[in-house]
């Protein structure tokens, strides 16, 4: 079960160790496998992708066309209320992301000098949708809807097959809701490698987005390091949740939130930071009680073994720990939780108050649940419309703007020893003089 620590009794070194992610998430063996797969895919293309897909997933990769017949078959295999829930989630996600302020801007710097920043969608994006132990169709919505709003023309979906070699009907339906024409049934490092280099079957993309296991996360990082490799949305590995709670928190709710992330993956990490001994005892009882009926109890229990319960002396200390840890998900289950938000500087997403379940963010609240893990929230943001946009600047100069701009630029160019730069400014100034 989760390790109990008293923060006040820990040395500086012990505190660093307490907030460290499990070593297995960043092992050298993972990197070695990733490098081997990438080198083979680069040299052999689809043949290597197929070989690794057979080895790791048991099935050859394929392109699944989302024809009317395929979508109808998926639709007929699911309950109407379940399908309506999928549509409701899609509407909320779309509503949130459509409100994102991503417009460019322009400004007059000086008379005759006007500059602007304009936004353009990326040409092609690769979206990785986990589908191994759990078919995360919600992730498809969380990735594809912002990309569609950004105006991306080509959206490539890769997802691993299930144990029977099939694609879950709700992954098919989520793709259909997002107007995706096909799904590439291939997962893991081999999918990321194919998206990075391009093969006869799988197109090369400009960005790879989406969460995954340690191998997928390492593969994305490796891909971004390649010459002409894709950019990535962020490091988005095994899930993690930190809960800050005081004696006003419901222990059943706290335990349920911790388990909701622990059941994702044996390498998921959950952390409870609290001011209350009584809450700790109650949460431990609740964890055991709720585990008894949890279908993925074995996975959750192993993940809890990597988890921590940290007793602190006050909420300010708890917030400080959270900002050091930079959790993917942060739940503030305290009195006046909204007052703490301004103090939070590093988190992927924040759930405010006991009513705000992390589960809501995973499925239907609106913001994308594709978020930075392993402390990357100190530097990275979660997926949004801007993830799939790039900006470029536009500079317009008229005759009225030449005088001061040319003289300043030429002088600075000569200070740097770049005479051709200076002359490119001078010639315009001379030409302007000849016109007047």
Strand duo 240-245 + 231-232: pairing: unpaired
User: What kind and span of H or E run contains 243?
Assistant: strand 240-245
Q: Is the pLDDT of residue 204 over 60?
A: yes
Which residues are within 8 A (CB) of 258 and not within 5 positions of it... i.e. 6 or more apart? 2, 241, 243, 270, 272, 283, 287, 304, 307
Per-residue confidence (pLDDT) for residue 140, from 0 to 100 = 98
Highest mean pLDDT (candidates 23-27, 130-134, 259-263): 259-263
Distance CA 387, CA 370 (A): 11
Mean pLDDT throughout 201-211?
97
Please give the Cα distance from 56 to 132 (Å, whole number): 11
The dihedral over CA atoms of 257, 293, 135, 44, expressed in degrees to the nearest 10, equals 100
> Residue 435 is encoded by which pair of tokens?
């016109």
CB 35 within 8 A of CB 222: yes
Rounded Cα distance between 94 and 126, Å, is: 19
Calculate the alpha carbon distances from 241 to 59, 77, 81, 270, 365 in Å.
33, 33, 29, 5, 17
Question: Which band of pLDDT confidence, cut at 50, 70 and 90, is reported for residue 237?
Answer: confident
Q: Residue 383 has what DSSP assignment?
A: -
34 has pLDDT over 70: yes
Could you tell me if 321 and 310 are in contact, meaning their C-beta atoms sit under 8 angstroms apart? yes
317 has pLDDT over 60: yes
Q: Measuring CA to CA, how many Å separate 256 from each of 182, 185, 209, 250, 296?
A: 36, 33, 29, 10, 13
Residue 143 DSSP SS3: helix
Helices (H) and strands (E) in the chain, counts: 16, 15
Query: For residue 19, what pLDDT is reported?
Result: 94
pLDDT digits (tens, 9 = 90+) for 61-105: 999 999 999 999 999 999 999 999 999 999 999 999 999 999 999
At residue 325's C-alpha, the angle toward residues 380 and 357, to 5°, is: 80
Whether the pLDDT of residue 362 is over 70: the answer is: yes
Q: Tell me which residue of 309, 317, 239 sits closest to 277, measured CA to CA.
A: 309
421 in catalytic set: no
Residues sharing a CB contact under 8 Å with residue 286, sequence separation 6 or more, in sequence order:
251, 252, 254, 255, 256
Catalytic residue among 97, 168, 264, 329: 329
Please tell me the least confidently modeled range out of 131-140, 263-272, 297-306, 364-373: 131-140
Token pair 């993940």 is at which residue?
A: 303
Tell me the pLDDT band of 404, cut-offs 50, 70 and 90.
confident
pLDDT tier, 329 (very low <50, low <70, confident <90, very high otherwise): very high
CA angle 270, 272, 278 (to 5 degrees): 140
CA–CA gap between residue 36 and residue 222 (Å, rounded): 11
pLDDT averaged over every residue in the chain: 95
Find the catalytic residue in 94, 286, 328, 358: 328
Count of residues for the chain?
436
Indicate if the pLDDT at residue 323 is higher than 70: yes
Query: What are the tens digits of pLDDT across the range 276-293?
Result: 999 999 999 999 999 999
- Select the more confidently predicted residue: 285 or 213: 285
- Sequence spans of domains, the chain: 3-26+238-362, 45-233+385-390, 398-435
Residue 21 confidence class, pLDDT cut points 50, 70, 90: confident
Say whether 328 is catalytic. yes
Domains 3-26+238-362 and 45-233+385-390 agree in fold: yes
In the structure, what pLDDT confidence band is assigned to residue 12 with cuts at 50, 70 and 90?
very high
Torsions phi, psi for 13 (to 5 deg): -65, -40
Say if residue 24's pLDDT is above 60.
no
pLDDT at 214 over 90: no
Instruction: Determine how many CB atoms are found less than 10 A away from the CB of residue 246.
Output: 19
Q: Are the beta carbons of 377 and 242 closer than 8 angstroms? A: no
Give the per-residue pLDDT at 433: 78
Query: CA gyration radius for the chain?
Result: 26
φ/ψ (deg, to 5) at 272: -110, 125
Residue 270 has, within 13 A of its CA and on its CB side, a CA count of 27
pLDDT, average across residues 142-148: 98
In this structure, whether the domain defined by 45-233+385-390 belongs to CATH 3.30.830.10 is answered with: no
The pLDDT-based confidence of 27 (bands split at 50, 70, 90) is: confident
Residue 22: predicted pLDDT: 74
Alpha carbon distance 185, 284 (integer Å): 40
- By percentage, how much of the chain surpasses pLDDT 90? 91
Assign 29 a pLDDT band (cuts: 50, 70, 90).
confident
Provide the whole-model pTM.
0.93
Confidence grade of residue 197 (pLDDT, cut at 50, 70, 90):
very high
Q: Is it the case that residue 436 has pLDDT exceeding 70? A: no
Q: Which CATH class is domain 3-26+238-362?
A: alpha beta
- Per-residue model confidence (pLDDT) at position 25: 59
Query: Can you give the pLDDT at residue 434?
Result: 74
Determine which of 306-315, 329-338, 424-433 has the lowest per-residue pLDDT on average: 424-433
- Max Cα separation, the chain? 88
Per DSSP, 224 falls in state H
As a whole number of angstroms, the distance between CA 402 and CA 424 comes to 12
Rounded CA separation 234/197 (Å): 19
Per-residue pLDDT band for 131 (boundaries 50, 70, 90) equals confident
Average pLDDT of the segment spanning 310-314: 97
């Amino acid at each position: 079960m989760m390790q109990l620590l008293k923060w006040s009794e820990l040395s500086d070194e012990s505190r660093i160790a307490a907030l460290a992610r499990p070593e297995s998430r960043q092992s050298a063996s993972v990197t070695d496998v990733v490098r081997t797969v990438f080198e083979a895919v680069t040299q052999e293309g689809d043949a290597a992708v197929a070989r690794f897909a057979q080895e790791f997933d048991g099935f050859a990769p394929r392109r699944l066309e989302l024809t009317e017949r395929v979508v109808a078959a998926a639709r007929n295999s699911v309950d109407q209320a379940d399908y309506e829930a999928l549509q409701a989630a899609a509407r909320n996600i779309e509503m949130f992301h459509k409100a994102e302020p991503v417009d460019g801007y322009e400004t007059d710097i000086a008379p005759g000098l006007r500059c602007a920043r304009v936004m353009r969608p990326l040409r092609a994006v690769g979206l990785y949708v986990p589908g191994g132990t759990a078919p995360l169709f919600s992730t498809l919505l969380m990735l594809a809807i912002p990309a569609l709003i950004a105006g991306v023309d080509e959206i490539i979906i890769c997802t691993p097959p299930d144990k029977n070699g099939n694609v879950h009907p709700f992954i098919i339906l989520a793709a259909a809701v997002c107007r995706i024409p096909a799904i590439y049934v291939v997962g893991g490092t081999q999918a990321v490698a194919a998206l990075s280099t391009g093969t006869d079957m799988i197109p090369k993309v400009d960005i790879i987005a989406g969460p995954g296991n340690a191998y997928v996360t390492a593969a994305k990082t490796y891909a971004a390091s390649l010459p002409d490799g894709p950019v990535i949305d962020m490091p988005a590995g095994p899930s993690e949740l930190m809960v800050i709670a005081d004696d006003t928190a419901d222990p059943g709710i706290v335990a349920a939130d911790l388990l909701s992330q622990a059941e994702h993956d044996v390498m998921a990490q959950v952390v409870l930071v609290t001011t209350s001994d009584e809450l700790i005892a109650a949460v431990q009882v609740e964890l055991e009680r709720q585990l008894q009926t949890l279908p993925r109890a074995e996975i959750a229990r192993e993940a809890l073994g990597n988890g921590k319960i940290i007793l602190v002396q006050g909420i300010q200390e708890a917030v400080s720990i959270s900002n050091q840890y930079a959790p993917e998900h942060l739940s503030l289950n305290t009195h006046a939780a909204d007052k703490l938000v301004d103090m939070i500087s590093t988190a992927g997403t924040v759930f405010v108050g006991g009513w705000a379940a992390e589960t809501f963010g995973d499925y239907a609240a609106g913001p994308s649940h594709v978020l930075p893990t392993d402390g990357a929230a100190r530097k990275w943001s979660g997926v949004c419309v801007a993830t799939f946009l790039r900006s470029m600047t536009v500079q317009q100069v008229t005759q009225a703007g030449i005088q001061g701009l040319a003289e300043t630029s030429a002088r600075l160019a000569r200070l740097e020893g770049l005479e051709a730069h200076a002359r490119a400014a001078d010639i315009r100034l001379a030409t302007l003089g000849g016109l007047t």
